[in-house]
Amino acid sequence: MFQPVPPDSLFARLRAAAGRTWSAYVEHPFVAQLGAGTLPEAAFRRYLVQDYRFLIHFGRAYALAVYKSDTLADMRAAAAGMRAILDDEMDLHVEFCRGWGLTPADLEAAPEDGPTLAYTRYVLETGLRGDVLDLHTALAPCIVGYAEIGAALAEEGTAMHAGHPYRAWVGMYAGDDYQAVARDHVTLLDRLWHTRAGDGRFEALSRIFGEATRLEADFWQMGLDAA
């Protein structure tokens, strides 16, 4: 389950600064309906298709993190993240989509919707114009936010009942493997903050985090708009 983020961590400070923008993301009607099992299947299918497109750019973001890293250890860590997305997570997503009647051809043929374009290009542009801390800050609402959402829905309980249509999705993000990924990202942000930043940089990082969070909420809304 999701462990409370240390209150003095960079992530905790960024989340607090985001305020209602963060709440609008993690408590979005898409999330609430998903947890209750009332989310229309059309909304979830649209989300799955666009999430496939998003994962492709997520892999590119980790490739960019390799280039932006200063140390061999950080380069290897980013490369491992890229390989995990391209070699494992993409395949798992494709198989998950099959269960919802979506073929690999469906996923490949689907155009990127506006919110997908907006968020993925924002992440990549942020990384290109900034440094690796900027890039990982832009990725944090997705990586850590999904862990928080998954754990909250699992703890509430309804989504873990047998027969719940979205039980597998919630279980994936509430599970130990993904929760560890989120904790590692919180730790990475703190390490980069201590080696690359100071309080004078917090305002700029907060803007990045807030914008990425807003774009994540738009991603949920894109799914609802398909219903």
pLDDT (tens digit per residue) in 40-83? 999 999 999 999 999 999 999 999 999 999 999 899 999 999 99
Q: What is the pLDDT of residues 146-167, one digit of tens each?
A: 999 999 999 999 999 999 999 9
pLDDT of residue 104: 95
Q: Which of 97, 142, 148, 211 is catalytic?
A: 142
**C-alpha pair distances (Å), 105 with each of 31, 68, 101, 111, 131:** 27, 34, 11, 12, 36
What burial class does residue 37 get, using C-beta atoms within 10 Å of its C-beta: 0-12 exposed, 13-18 middle, 19+ buried?
A: middle
Q: Catalytic annotation on 156?
A: no
pLDDT of residue 188: 94
What burial class does residue 10 get, using C-beta atoms within 10 Å of its C-beta: 0-12 exposed, 13-18 middle, 19+ buried?
A: buried
Q: What is the pTM of this model?
A: 0.94
**Mean pLDDT over residues 189-195, rounded?**
93
Who contacts 98 (Cβ-Cβ below 8 Å, separation ≥6)?
none
Please report, rounded to a whole number, the percentage of residues in the chain having pLDDT higher than 90: 91
The whole-angstrom separation of Cα 31 and Cα 35 is 6
CA atoms within 13 A on the CB side of 109: 5
pLDDT of residue 3: 65
The whole-angstrom separation of Cα 203 and Cα 197 is 11
pLDDT of residue 133: 96
Question: Residue 1 pLDDT more than 60?
Answer: no
**Mean pLDDT over residues 134-151, rounded?**
96
Question: Residue 129 pLDDT more than 60?
Answer: yes
- Which of the residue ranges 41-45, 86-90, 138-142, 211-215 would you say has the lowest mean pLDDT? 86-90
pLDDT of residue 227: 74
Indicate the CATH number of 10-224 among 1.20.910.10, 2.60.40.10, 1.10.10.10, 3.40.50.720: 1.20.910.10
Q: What is the CA radius of gyration of the chain?
A: 17
Give the amino acid at 32: A
Query: Closest Cα to residue 178, out of 84, 99, 48, 87?
Result: 84
Tell me the pLDDT of the chain averaged across its residues: 94
Q: Which of 97, 148, 211, 216 is catalytic?
A: 216
pLDDT of residue 211: 98
Q: Catalytic annotation on 216?
A: yes
SS (H, E, C) 78-134: HHHHHHHHHHHHHHHHHHHHHCCCCCHHHHHHCCCCHHHHHHHHHHHHHHHHCCHHH
pLDDT of residue 196: 86
Q: Which tokens sit at 116?
A: 């997908």
pLDDT of residue 2: 63
Question: Residue 216 pLDDT more than 50?
Answer: yes
